[in-house]
Structure 1
């Protein structure tokens, strides 16, 4: 039996929370509590609605924000990493390369 996605208003509330609070550690429990469902049920419903786990969605939001800051700001890559919720420069670099196929430093130089 296919899992039904989260109802639209609850999904919007969760996505808004992730986008507003992306730089801090948002636990699965916290997001599930916000949705009103158990952790396991929330995880299945979120994935059915977005095609991603909450962790993957949060990582992608962080990477998009980091990319925006690399394009428009002058902060160091470490400062951007910490401001967007990554644990370190190397963590951001690994994730950025995996997602965009280029390191943050190389991306900044091509912009």
Structure 2
């Protein structure tokens, strides 16, 4: 959405809210495209595996606008509030993506 609509997003590292914003980074999606960038040049605390990056109001990255572009499964949807986090939609698996695919019999016999 940023490349299409010039949307601007805010991100925080939820488990480091009191840490100093020490690094300038770009937050990008997992698709190998120049347009798959959510936020350029944002200052965030130093991140490491296991940290929880929260990007609010994400438009196309929101579940209601998500697609299986490049056959990538959609992530889980998590509702956070009052100190609790609950999965409200389970993440998709590759099996979920493939379960409706069908090959014509004529292609299976070659």
Greater percentage in helix:
1
Q: Tell which has more relative contact order, 1 or 2 (C-alpha 8 A, sep 6+).
A: 1
Give me the TM-score of the superposition, normalised by structure 2: 0.23
Give me the TM-score of the superposition, normalised by structure 1: 0.23
